[in-house]
Structure 1
Amino acid sequence: MTLILIFLPIVAAAFVGLLDDPRAEAAKRTALGVALFTLIASLGVYVAYPVSFGGFVSEFKLAWLPLVGSSFHVGLDGLSLPFVALTPLLTAVSVLASWRKTEKGFFALMLLLQGALVGVFAALDLIVFFVFFELVLVPMYFMIALWGYEQRRYAAVKFLIYSLVGSVFMLAAMLATAYLAAPALGKVSFDYLDLVSAAGYLALLPAAGWLFWGFALAFLIKLPAVPLHTWLPHAHTQAPTAGSIFLAGLLLKMGGYGLIRFNLALFPGELERFANLLAAVALVSIVYGAYVTLAQRDLKRLIANSSVNHMGYVLLGIASMTAVGLHGAVYQMVAHGVITGLMFLMVGLLADRTHTREIAAMKGVYNAAPILGGVLWLALLGGLGLPGLAGFLGEFQSLWGGFLADVTRPYVWVAVFGIVILAGAMLWTIQRVLLGKAEGALDDLNPVEVAAAAPLVFLAVLLGLVPAALTPWIDAGVQPLLTLVQEVLK
């Protein structure tokens, strides 16, 4: 099943690219059909996953590059499954949000991006992970560069350069990790499970700190953490609506996922050693992200900067190295993918109608278009972490995990101010954009747009009120890692 989830969208992307389809009618229907099929398939794996097992399912391993110790090894566990299910969902939402586009290449790129993202979350070999990690850059670059706004080329190149710089360090760290772990394994292996079994040996190496930061730099850029975040506002502001949904909903999650999957699992001693520094970076991201959000005049840029704040909680939860902190980090990533995807969807649809993203030029949206305004209202409330919506629980657990750990506790006292500042920014945005008397007519959401928003609205409420829809899977993914960490650190 994992192979289908990865390669069906990639094959479909090639098929769509070869279609004689000048109006992209077949392309958009193919993209939507593949996204929905893989969503149903991924939900089937998600529901059937034995949460008490805590291991990998739908595993596939094939000798790929035996001379260098790499195999095509993929599988799904409680840590990866929420993101694997979220990927086709946001793809379907992005296709519906782009229903008026007439370029088949745009839909082909979305399918390629979907397959590459699932590959990132499913990879159990370092080389396979790197290949998919880099493959993600290709469709994302072209979506911004070809279908973005005025400064799209600058934003696309900046996104690409930042990503490639991080990837260079990560690749060097991967090669060195496999080479240095060989004495403990009796062979050179890039297999994730092999390297995890050698984590105790890796912890004793003088180069462990360098290896840790080689991985961490790439993931902190993707997260993104201050001061490595400057590519994000440009990319979001210039990307088309679908590109922003993918960026916020999924690409940023590659950073947090990578820190847990690789930095925590392979180098727990180094994560503990540098937890103070990572918590400080998280604190700066939380407070800085909130302040910058408050100052924005562009609605899309406002949401982009709020992501810096939100992902700061993810980093704080990871730095705490506590069960509740890590659980909160994963929950926050999934919730952020849902809520921020919904915010970018609504802002994109609103900008299409008003032909502006300037907050000062918007007023009375809720009165003029109640469905659009109501959904945007809910999304902004979710973004400020309102209890009862998906954004609350992850933030709370990340902060609580940070409070429980001695090394991160001092940072929590300051981080709570980020919540207050961001709440002020979101409420002020609601007042300026949604309330008041509209200056002109505004079309409300049509049936296709309602279909795009509906599943995200449902999940935003479900994950806020019924955390059991997600927590057992996160526990199944996090607990084995914590057991490993305790064995290495004892």
Structure 2
Amino acid sequence: MITLLILIPVLGAIIAASSNAEIAKRIAVAASLLSTIISGVMYFTYNTAGGAMAFTEKVPWIPSLGISYHVALDGLSLPFVVLTALLTLVSVLAQFDQDKKSFYALFLVMQAGITGVFASLDLVLFFLFWEVVLIPMFFIIGVWGYENRRYAAIKFVLYSLTGSVLMLVGILALAFGVANATGQPLSFDFDVLKTQLEAIKALPGIGLIFWAFLAAFLIKLPAFPVHTWLPHAHTEAPTGGSIMLAGVLLKMGGYGILRFNLGLMPGEMQTYQTVLAILATVGVVYGAYCAMAQKDLKRMVAYSSVNHMGYVLLGIVSLNAMGIHGAVYQMVAHGLITGLMFMMVGFLSHRTHTRVIANMTGMYAAMPVLGAIMWMAFLGGLGLPGMAGFIGEFTALSGTVKNPDTAVYGYISLLGIMITAGFILYAIQRVLLGRAPGSSDDEHHDDHGSSHAHTKSHWHDLSPLELAAAAPLVILSVVLGLYPNLLTPWIDGSTQALLETVRGVTRLGDKGEAHFYEKCECRNLGSGNGYNHDESLECQLLP
């Protein structure tokens, strides 16, 4: 089934590229819709009880090097596969006015690559899919973007390639190091490597290997201070590109940290917990401050992603089930809500020919449907209770505060929530409220500084096609905010399975026996009380 999810968009891309633009549009819609249906069926047939890998496919690829085609999904990856297919569909619908067949083919190639990233359980296969994703996004930004598209595309690729090179070095060092240390055959298989956590922990230079992986994932997340490519990429990308970039490409970073940094190197996660918590907290507050300072509406939404993904990193480094659950939930919610925000900003700027906040007013009165959905999207970005973003942020912060070692960073991050409320409410007040432009004297300036006179009659509300693109994101943002059980059992089962794997292979105590501690004892586990590093880590990983 997973191979089918990868092949459908690949075949769709081939057919689209060899057809005319009109056929390519329909092929892209059909391929992404079929992928959404299949992934949805897989989602609801997945057994959430044990959180184990499912839909497994494993075929030897290069046996002499220990490389295989190994794909599988669990509750941590399956939601992102569904999200990838859905956002590809809405991105294509949101940009149905494009007349280039290659545009739609690239979206399908990107969908296939992202699906492969979330499904791969072989490190080499994971790396190859990771690289595949860069190519279509580079061209989508560089060819169909706005005025500074080339600069944004090149910066995006340079940052991504830097992380990719480091990750490749880390993959090779990890696999060859484990093979040499254990005397076992070389293997890049995740399931094999996770049985060798003791050998991984003892590898010379394991800290460098950890950061080689982490660098690639922090760049993609993105985390402060390696976030500077994101505002340019978002601002210059076409609407569909921004939806995919915010919706699923950023999630590759958070997923990678969970699956590989925590899943294979949990001791290093605990060692560098404070460093990562500081970076996450700075990202939350700094991202919110930068968003508040923006004059360009799309750039404001871009910086809000730095803020929101900071909560994701905080939840992960809490190293407990609640925080990790919140991080995954926040990533799914962010994909839906921020994807919707970029879609509405794109629709609005297409009509008004400007993204300058000061040049907009009364959009709700002028276009009630667009204004209402945009209002809902921005309130979702604010973390309004009743929408998916609230569940994710609240749970991630609760997990952060629950751990005494990260609690202070959770409290500091509350400042980011207040700043977020400020720039979101300002954007709503300035852009959506007020008197609708009703005379030809209302003047607006586009992104290039040119002025345009518009009347209300020039601004038509959302078309049925645009409404169809927005509807799934609106519905899911509300449903997951009111009924989180549509997602929480999937996340909980696999989170517990991940943490149990870490516990089960960690040697504790002087004789190597496993000890488990009550939550009330966690705060007392430290070198000053005679407990070693492993015992402290074990306690932090308690749910």
Q: TM-score range by the shorter chain?
A: over 0.9
Q: Which residue of 2 aligns with 1:37?
A: 34
Q: Amino acid of the residue matched to residue 11 of structure 2?
A: V
Q: Which moved more, 1:181-190 or 1:410-419?
A: 181-190
Looking at structure 2, the residues matched to 194 and 430 of structure 1 have their Cα atoms a distance apart, in angstroms, of 51
Q: Which residue of 1 aligns with 2:248?
A: 250
| Contact 1:225/1:282 (8 A) holds in 2 | yes
Q: Which residue of 2 aligns with 1:276?
A: 274
Q: Which moved more, 1:48-57 or 1:369-378?
A: 48-57
| Contact 2:50/2:497 (8 A) holds in 1 | no
Looking at structure 2, the residues matched to 423 and 206 of structure 1 have their Cα atoms a distance apart, in angstroms, of 46
Pairing partner for 2:435 from 434, 437, 442: 437
Looking at structure 1, the residues matched to 15 and 198 of structure 2 have their Cα atoms a distance apart, in angstroms, of 46
Q: Which residue of 2 aligns with 1:133?
A: 130
| Contact 2:15/2:27 (8 A) holds in 1 | no
Tell whether 2:488 aligns with 1:471. yes
Q: Which residue of 2 aligns with 1:7?
A: 7
Query: Residue deviations 1:40-85, cap 9 Å, x none?
Result: 0000000000001311111111111112110010011111000000
| Contact 1:185/1:198 (8 A) holds in 2 | no
Name the count of aligned residue pairs.
Answer: 487
| Contact 2:365/2:371 (8 A) holds in 1 | yes
Q: Which residue of 1 aligns with 2:171?
A: 174
Q: Amino acid of the residue matched to residue 416 of structure 2?
A: G
Q: Which residue of 1 aligns with 2:233?
A: 235
Q: Amino acid of the residue matched to residue 399 of structure 1?
A: L
Q: Amino acid of the residue matched to residue 473 of structure 2?
A: L
Q: Which residue of 2 aligns with 1:57?
A: 54
Q: Amino acid of the residue matched to residue 117 of structure 2?
A: V
Tell whether 2:85 aligns with 1:68. no
SS in 1 for 2:152: helix
What's the CA shift for 1:313? Answer: 0.2
Q: Which residue of 1 aligns with 2:389?
A: 391
Structure 2 counterparts to residues 288-303 of structure 1, below 5 A: 288-303=286-301
Q: Amino acid of the residue matched to residue 18 of structure 1?
A: S
SS in 2 for 1:136: helix
| Contact 2:277/2:409 (8 A) holds in 1 | yes
Q: Which residue of 1 aligns with 2:107?
A: 110
What's the CA shift for 1:363? Answer: 0.5
Looking at structure 1, the residues matched to 155 and 494 of structure 2 have their Cα atoms a distance apart, in angstroms, of 34
Query: Residue deviations 1:186-230, cap 9 Å, x none?
Result: 111000111111112211223211111010000000000011000
Looking at structure 1, the residues matched to 198 and 383 of structure 2 have their Cα atoms a distance apart, in angstroms, of 38
Q: Amino acid of the residue matched to residue 474 of structure 1?
A: I
SS in 2 for 1:109: helix
Looking at structure 1, the residues matched to 480 and 236 of structure 2 have their Cα atoms a distance apart, in angstroms, of 30
What's the CA shift for 1:486? Answer: 2.2
What's the CA shift for 1:289? Answer: 0.4
SS in 2 for 1:198: helix
Pairing partner for 1:101 from 83, 98, 107: 98
For the pair shown, which has the larger CA radius of gyration, 1 or 2? 2
| Contact 2:55/2:73 (8 A) holds in 1 | yes
Q: Which residue of 1 aligns with 2:498?
A: 481
Q: Which residue of 2 aligns with 1:16?
A: 16
Looking at structure 2, the residues matched to 396 and 199 of structure 1 have their Cα atoms a distance apart, in angstroms, of 32
Q: Which residue of 1 aligns with 2:80?
A: 83
Cα 1:144–1:314 change in 2 (3 A) is: same
Tell whether 2:306 aligns with 1:308. yes
Q: Which residue of 2 aligns with 1:400?
A: 398
Q: Which residue of 2 aligns with 1:457?
A: 474
What's the CA shift for 1:291? Answer: 0.4
What's the CA shift for 1:181? Answer: 1.1
Looking at structure 2, the residues matched to 29 and 372 of structure 1 have their Cα atoms a distance apart, in angstroms, of 25
Q: Which residue of 2 aligns with 1:154?
A: 151
Runs of 4+ in 1 over 2 A off after TM superposition: 485-490
Looking at structure 2, the residues matched to 42 and 322 of structure 1 have their Cα atoms a distance apart, in angstroms, of 28
Q: Which moved more, 1:39-48 or 1:191-200?
A: 191-200
Query: Residue deviations 1:402-431, cap 9 Å, x none?
Result: 111121111112110000000111001000
Looking at structure 2, the residues matched to 177 and 411 of structure 1 have their Cα atoms a distance apart, in angstroms, of 31
Q: Which residue of 2 aligns with 1:421?
A: 419
What's the CA shift for 1:10? Answer: 1.1
| Contact 1:166/1:219 (8 A) holds in 2 | yes
| Contact 1:385/1:391 (8 A) holds in 2 | yes
What's the CA shift for 1:185? Answer: 6.6
TM-score (norm 1): 0.98
| Contact 2:234/2:245 (8 A) holds in 1 | yes
Pairing partner for 1:350 from 343, 348, 351: 348
What's the CA shift for 1:184? Answer: 2.9
| Contact 2:50/2:494 (8 A) holds in 1 | no
| Contact 2:200/2:206 (8 A) holds in 1 | yes
SS in 2 for 1:224: coil
Looking at structure 2, the residues matched to 266 and 199 of structure 1 have their Cα atoms a distance apart, in angstroms, of 6
| Contact 1:46/1:85 (8 A) holds in 2 | yes
| Contact 1:185/1:194 (8 A) holds in 2 | no
Q: Which residue of 1 aligns with 2:260?
A: 262
Looking at structure 1, the residues matched to 106 and 425 of structure 2 have their Cα atoms a distance apart, in angstroms, of 36
SS in 1 for 2:332: helix
Looking at structure 2, the residues matched to 44 and 185 of structure 1 have their Cα atoms a distance apart, in angstroms, of 42
Query: Residue deviations 1:235-286, cap 9 Å, x none?
Result: 0000000000010000000000000000000000000000000000000000
Q: Amino acid of the residue matched to residue 346 of structure 2?
A: G
Looking at structure 1, the residues matched to 502 and 234 of structure 2 have their Cα atoms a distance apart, in angstroms, of 36
Looking at structure 1, the residues matched to 149 and 388 of structure 2 have their Cα atoms a distance apart, in angstroms, of 32
Looking at structure 2, the residues matched to 366 and 411 of structure 1 have their Cα atoms a distance apart, in angstroms, of 38
Pairing partner for 1:28 from 25, 29, 34: 25
Q: Amino acid of the residue matched to residue 40 of structure 1?
A: I
| Contact 1:49/1:57 (8 A) holds in 2 | yes
Which 5+ residue runs of structure 1 have no aligned equivalent?
Answer: none
| Contact 2:362/2:433 (8 A) holds in 1 | yes
Looking at structure 1, the residues matched to 471 and 486 of structure 2 have their Cα atoms a distance apart, in angstroms, of 18
Q: Which residue of 1 aligns with 2:409?
A: 411
Looking at structure 1, the residues matched to 430 and 406 of structure 2 have their Cα atoms a distance apart, in angstroms, of 36
| Contact 1:388/1:465 (8 A) holds in 2 | yes
What's the CA shift for 1:335? Answer: 0.2
Tell me the C-alpha RMSD between the 2 structures.
0.8
Query: Residue deviations 1:144-167, cap 9 Å, x none?
Result: 000000000000000000000000
